[in-house]
Chains A and B, each alone.
Chain A
């Protein structure tokens, strides 16, 4: 009972916040980011995710300095953790003391745009807005209006053990999918003594990967038919891709079928894997770890695979484009200043800084330059040109929260469902969730 009551209290506590704050914002049209604003004496509050603090804090500081020089306003950046940021954001936006600028993952944005959490912006005010990566900007747009600005992207690539490739007599990174399978066969044969060895490490609930295979054969997750979403996983093309992923995973991976990709770099760094599919920056995570994982300033220590990894685009598999967008909250009292800060933080100069820090820029026009400037992200930049993103549906975040795709994948891998049955079940669940009133 105690726990039940605690839950009830939690539900109710979030309601109290609602009662405390007055009416919503009226629709005043788009907020300009180019007008002259006198920000003297004002401070805007910015919520960025922790990646900005650990990987490109200099870019943040530089953009803020330019913003302060132009407007006279001050910036207060607060860094958030991925694990609980949405719950925290929900509770904060229910009140009146809200952050002015908020970063969200690209798949998370639609729900907030739909719920009126963010203010409309003038697309033309932002540099490179004509060539924004559609995988990021798709979530920002609703009924011809723009509610957020693409910030950065990370495309997934194949990360592999160069030493094991050499030992197995594989000269270079696979260029075709058939090459990939041949390489996996050789790795598997050469490391049969290690019971934990996965030629291709693929956790069972890694739905970004599975859906990339679905895309590779022309499949889709869901499509909008009129005003209704229809699940597309049981289409012949999708089933073919899903089957291809299942075959690969069953044959070459010893990974836990109930795990997702969150720990994959750490598990791979134990040395019992040949290839894994991850964000470009996960190569670094696999090679070096913080001595004290709770202290971002503690020294880096090398893992077993330090200096033995390389990255390349995964042949014939379109990359899932993950990334973040920035929005100005609808309840912000300094919308114009906030929009100006976003303008500085997403302009070409800031993007150059992000590229140096191994993130991908927000525009297709900058990808080639990024690949040339930073060889580390060249494979990812190439992958990003051929990339995909989840359906741009208001309720998509709920499909993720309900673990529909994850459950389908585990059920298929354990043999509880056939590929066709699993896909049919997922289609029903996805349609029910996306079309929910």
Chain B
């Protein structure tokens, strides 16, 4: 509608002197463009508001109340408790333990995935085209596997009674007959991290290998002619060119891994022990397991705030790339 209206504005009047006419037309055009832009993004905005902004608003409201099962059943407005839920979380040692664990896991898993992803991407530039296609297809399969399915598969692989891992290790002569991989939290987290890194590599390797095609061959050749070692070429030519992309994929990995839920939830069969709780599972257990809906919401809000730092970094990087283009 707006687009049609603007077309009929008197601005198009032929009497106007040429210079003014041009400048006005430019202004009108840009106004019309922005209206069209808004119109075109309207469906997306409506969906975003309905699916994201409103639930987020309700979650924030909920975190200032004390909603229990009784209120859920009766429909009564839960009592307002101000910052009580936040105070409860922020003064709870268990909560901070969960925050620390989630952060440590994020650092380790992201570092590993990015390093291995980059390594595979570099390898893909060097191998024969057929091998490259094979690697791509293999990674696509990993990528296509739903998280829950992958996690369940890992759960069965590492099962103490029926798992193939213990079977193979025992056949190889190690005493792993009924070894439980989740008794020792380090071993348990190694399994979870392996699963997350394994599932995260395809995205990283494929994105980075696409990025590597942007590194001009001539530069690398020139460097080789000038006597640069492969390591020097990587550090001084490839990585600087790859940096913006590397930043983005790393930030995305941080955001994804910080919200770890499916993997530790499924590997611990839906009831993770305290040492396997992350912020997401902790919030879920509080809200839906123990019907502390408000406390669960407060933890989710804190998680969102913690992520906001990383998010801002990500958005700034996106804008930077936009400017270069």
Contact = CB atoms under 8 A, between A and B. Distances in A.
Contact of A23 (B51, B75, B183): B75
A257 B273 CA distance: 12
B158 to A, nearest CB: 11
A195 B293 CA distance: 47
B271 to A, nearest CB: 5
B43 interface: no
A24 interface: yes
A90 B58 CA distance: 18
A256 B73 contact: no
Contact of A90 (B55, B160, B291): B291
A330 B69 CA distance: 13
| Secondary structure dominating the interface of A | helix
Contacts of B62: 11-12, 15
Given A258-B182, A267-B161, A112 B280 contact: no
B300 A331 contact: no
Interface string B256-280: 1001011000000011011000001
B42 interface: no
A18 B75 contact: yes
Given A11-B293, A12-B56, A18-B72, A4 B161 contact: no
A402 B183 contact: no
A21 interface: yes
Interface string B201-227: 000000000000000000000000000
A116 B74 contact: yes
A371 to B, nearest CB: 34
Interface string B68-82: 111111111000000
Interface string A1-34: 1111101111111111011011111000000000
Interface residues of B, number: 55
A407 B51 contact: no
A4 B280 contact: yes
Contacts of A23: 74-76
A1 B300 CA distance: 11
A410 interface: yes
Given A4-B303, A196-B178, A403-B274, A11 B55 contact: yes
A255 interface: yes
B120 to A, nearest CB: 24
A403 B304 contact: no
Given A18-B75, A196-B177, A256-B160, A3 B69 contact: no
B116 interface: no
A410 B183 contact: yes
Interface residues of A, number: 54
B296 interface: yes
A432 to B, nearest CB: 10
Interface stretch (B1-9, B27-35, B281-289): B281-289
B152 interface: no
Interface in B278-325: 280, 283-285, 287-291, 293, 296-297, 300, 303-304, 307, 311
A51 B297 CA distance: 35
A256 B300 CA distance: 33
A19 B175 CA distance: 57
B273 A7 contact: no
A401 B261 contact: no
Contact of B69 (A4, A10, A112, A414): A112
Given A256-B178, A257-B180, A14 B73 contact: no
B237 interface: no
B183 A414 contact: yes
B203 to A, nearest CB: 13
Contact of B259 (A3, A111, A263, A267): A3
B271 A403 contact: yes
A270 interface: yes
A149 interface: no
A93 B56 contact: no
Interface string A398-410: 1001110011001
B59 A116 contact: no
B164 interface: no
B104 interface: no
B291 A111 contact: yes
B274 to A, nearest CB: 6
B54 interface: yes
B255 interface: yes
A7 B300 contact: yes
A93 B73 contact: yes
B18 to A, nearest CB: 52
B52 interface: yes
Interface in B20-54: 51-52, 54
A114 to B, nearest CB: 8
A259 B160 contact: yes
B285 A3 contact: no
Contact of A9 (B51, B160, B285): B51
Contacts of B183: 257-258, 410, 414
A94 B280 contact: no
Interface in A179-216: 195-196
Contacts of B71: 18
A294 interface: no
Given A3-B259, A7-B261, 9 more contacts: A1-B256, A3-B280, A4-B300, A8-B297, A11-B300, A13-B55, A15-B58, A256-B161, A402-B289
8 contacts: A3-B262, A3-B280, A7-B259, A7-B283, A24-B73, A195-B177, A195-B178, A255-B178
Interface of B: 51-52, 54-56, 58-59, 62, 67-76, 160-162, 170, 175, 177-178, 180, 182-184, 255-256, 259, 261-262, 270-271, 273-274, 280, 283-285, 287-291, 293, 296-297, 300, 303-304, 307, 311
